[in-house]
């Protein structure tokens, strides 16, 4: 895989490049933090979709991986023996794919409905597997998850009673907490209180959760403040991105991922156009107090002010820097997970040398 002869200038743009030293530093920090606080670290593979990078996470101390799709589960099962599918598998085809994972894989599934649970129970029983269940609770995001401890208890009982299933615990995703890390105090307290309600109700009914799985990159470094939490599932944190930096959950020099792009036009005054647009960066607005769709790694004051499919427009209004057609830049996107998903491979670089190439093998269905 590594092509030691390749120089970063030989990569055709647009293409994602990862500073390998920064990535390893990010992994070390996550391992140290979770170890210090007795939390299991189960990173989400949706961010990199690469089994080689999953293996790096395991080597750094992860207990297993989180995945969102059957495809991610299949691909990651080549590198990982312990998988949490943090998404309900609905329908025969997806259940069949899950049950066909290698037997050595210890599988858990997060879900929030009796329908999902019944389908999973039937498939597990028929295949002779034991599948763990985490009941997903809505901790305030309002996306998915049971609304009340009573509903959680009902699903936990069904899981505990179903042959083929094993009730393992609770899962939640604090996706609503996206404020600056220094302004998360009340949200973190509310999260802890909410989780405690669910844990207490289950415990009182004799179904104490062994796993309480939460965490996200924006709340990652405050996970230890959520009492009762046993496990965290950060995705973005391996690479970080512009949003993560803007909300203070990483420093700019901890951004390991950028999209290498070439200036293709400077015809319109005040801007330079690069070949990384919404099909390389995505067109996700930033969820922080900033604008644009990315910023230059080496000149973060220069923002991608707009994108179309193959064009990214660098705003030069606040800089004297005037790039020329053919110049190259590295852009940190707002949201790294959706950017990675647009590419077939990621180049690992040290300085100007390409030291690794990782296929984004689990993208697609």
- Interface residues with its own copies (CB under 8 A)? 10, 12-15, 46, 68-69, 87-88, 90-91, 93-94, 112-113, 115-116, 136, 138, 142-147, 151, 175, 262-269, 273, 275, 278-279, 282-285, 308-311, 313, 324-326, 337-338, 341-344, 364-365
Q: How far is the CB of 304 from its own copies (least distance, A)?
A: 13
Contact 238, 47 (CB under 8 A): yes
Q: How far is the CB of 28 from its own copies (least distance, A)?
A: 26
Q: How far is the CB of 47 from its own copies (least distance, A)?
A: 10
For its own copies, the closer CB: 60 or 159: 159
Q: How far is the CB of 283 from its own copies (least distance, A)?
A: 5
Residues 93 and 218: their CA atoms lie apart, in Å, by 34
For its own copies, the closer CB: 39 or 137: 137
Helix intervals (H) in the chain: 20-36, 51-60, 70-76, 92-99, 114-127, 149-161, 185-204, 242-246, 336-340
Q: How far is the CB of 37 from its own copies (least distance, A)?
A: 26
Q: How far is the CB of 15 from its own copies (least distance, A)?
A: 7
Q: How far is the CB of 116 from its own copies (least distance, A)?
A: 6
What is the 3-class SS of 176-244, one letter each residue?
Answer: CCCCCHHHCHHHHHHHHHHHHHHHHHHHHCCCCCCEEEECCCCCHHHHHHCCCCCEECCCHHHCCCHHH
Residues 6+ apart with CB under 8 A from 280: 14, 259, 261, 310, 312, 339, 342, 343
> What is the number of H-type helices and E-type strands within the chain?
9, 17
For its own copies, the closer CB: 19 or 284: 284
Q: Is 238 exposed, middle or buried (0-12, 13-18, 19+ CB in 10 A)?
A: buried
Kindly give the pairing relationship between strand 106-111 and strand 294-296. Answer: unpaired
In 3D, which of 256, 242, 110 has the Cα closest to residue 173? 110
Q: How far is the CB of 237 from its own copies (least distance, A)?
A: 15
Copy the structure tokens of residue 330. Answer: 């590295």
For its own copies, the closer CB: 10 or 319: 10
Q: How far is the CB of 278 from its own copies (least distance, A)?
A: 6
For its own copies, the closer CB: 10 or 81: 10
CA distances from 64 to 18, 108, 145, 327, 365 (A): 22, 11, 23, 41, 22
For its own copies, the closer CB: 53 or 86: 86
Residues 354 and 351: their CA atoms lie apart, in Å, by 8
Q: How far is the CB of 338 from its own copies (least distance, A)?
A: 6
For its own copies, the closer CB: 227 or 308: 308
For its own copies, the closer CB: 56 or 151: 151
Residues 314 and 298: their CA atoms lie apart, in Å, by 13
Q: Which residue has the tokens 């996700």?
A: 284
Residues 6+ apart with CB under 8 A from 124: 99, 130, 131, 162, 164, 165
For its own copies, the closer CB: 64 or 235: 235
For its own copies, the closer CB: 90 or 105: 90
Contact 213, 228 (CB under 8 A): no
């Amino acid at each position: 895989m590594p092509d030691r002869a390749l120089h970063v200038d030989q990569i055709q743009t647009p293409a994602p490049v990862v500073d390998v030293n920064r990535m390893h530093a990010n992994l070390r920090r996550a391992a140290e933090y979770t170890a210090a606080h007795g939390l299991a670290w189960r990173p989400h593979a949706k961010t990199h979709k690469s089994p080689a990078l999953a293996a790096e996470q395991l080597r750094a101390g992860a207990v297993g991986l989180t995945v969102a799709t059957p495809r991610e589960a299949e691909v990651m099962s080549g590198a990982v023996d312990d998988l949490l599918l943090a998404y309900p598998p609905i329908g025969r085809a997806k259940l069949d794919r899950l049950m066909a994972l290698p037997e050595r894989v210890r599988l858990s599934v997060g879900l929030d409905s009796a329908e999902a649970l019944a389908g999973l129970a039937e498939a597990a029983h028929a295949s002779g597997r034991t599948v763990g269940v985490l009941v997903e609770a809505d901790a305030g995001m309002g996306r998915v998850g049971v609304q009340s401890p009573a509903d959680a208890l009902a699903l936990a009982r069904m899981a505990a009673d179903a042959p083929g299933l094993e009730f393992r615990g609770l899962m939640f995703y604090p996706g609503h907490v996206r404020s600056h890390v220094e302004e998360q105090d009340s949200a973190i307290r509310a999260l802890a209180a909410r989780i405690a309600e669910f844990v207490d109700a289950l415990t009182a009914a004799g179904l104490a959760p062994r796993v309480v799985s939460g965490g996200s990159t924006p709340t990652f470094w405050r996970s230890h403040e959520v009492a009762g939490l046993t496990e965290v599932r950060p995705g973005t944190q391996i690479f970080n991105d512009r949003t993560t930096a803007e909300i203070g959950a990483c420093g700019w020099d901890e951004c390991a991922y950028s999209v290498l792009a070439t200036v293709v036009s400077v015809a319109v005054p005040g801007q330079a156009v690069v070949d990384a647009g919404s099909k390389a960066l995505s067109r996700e607005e930033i969820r922080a107090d900033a604008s644009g769709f990315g910023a230059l790694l080496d000149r973060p004051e220069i923002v991608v002010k707009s994108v179309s499919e193959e064009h990214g427009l660098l705003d030069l209004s606040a800089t004297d820097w005037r790039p020329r057609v053919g110049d190259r830049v590295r852009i940190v996107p707002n949201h790294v997970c959706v950017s990675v998903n647009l590419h077939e491979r990621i180049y690992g670089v040290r300085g100007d040398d390409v030291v690794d190439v990782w296929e984004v093998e689990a993208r697609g269905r």
